[in-house]
Amino acid sequence: MANTSSGRPGFVVWLTGLPCSGKSTISGWLSKAILETSRNVEILDGDIVRTNLTQGLGFDKDDRDRNVRRVGFVANLLSRNGTAVICAVVSPYRNIRDELRADVTNLIEVFVDTPAEICAQRDVKGMWAKAKAGELKNFTGYDDPYEAPKTPHVHIKTQEETVDQSGQKVLDYLLSQGWL
């Protein structure tokens, strides 16, 4: 396992949850907090990754799994080289997340648990409305399943917590496990 110059191993915080659940917001908060510990941090956000790394993949199960595997591969490379990596990816299927937990070094699974109706209210892009109108097919949480993690390392309930409280839960876990 590779380490940073300070001798600390890298790790991957994998935020999973419905679209618009708060993954990107929490990853931004967490990135700032981790940077304050003098760690190198990279965010792999699902929307940005789909535009730049996995462009051309669709939204059927095979392509979603392929997308998650690619993000996991990049995250693993970065973490093996001492970087703290935060992945904010819907990753709706439990089997592929379980595969990541087995294959990615130092992966911390965080379930960003937000009810679909709250996600739809937060949606600034109008994706939930398009799914409801039948304009967007295979939308996770609407007409495509989201399989919640059974044993995440951290369970966040964004409808009950502020961003600071949710981010702090993850940060506290990282500190308690010696990652920071």
Q: What is the dihedral of CA 176, 13, 163, 178, to 10 degrees?
A: 10
For residues 171 and 88, give the distance between their C-alpha atoms in angstroms, rounded to a whole number. Answer: 15
Which element (helix H / strand E) includes 49?
helix 46-52
Phi, psi (rounded to 5 degrees) for 64: -65, -45
Task: Specify whether 176 is catalytic.
Answer: no
Phi, psi (rounded to 5 degrees) for 63: -70, -35
For residues 120 and 129, give the distance between their C-alpha atoms in angstroms, rounded to a whole number. Answer: 7
The residue annotated as part of the active site, out of 21, 31, 91, 166, is: 91
What is the β-pairing status of strands 41-45 and 107-113?
Answer: unpaired
Distances (CA, A) of 127 to 29, 84, 138: 24, 30, 11
- Specify the DSSP class assigned to residue 140: B
Active-site residue set:
91
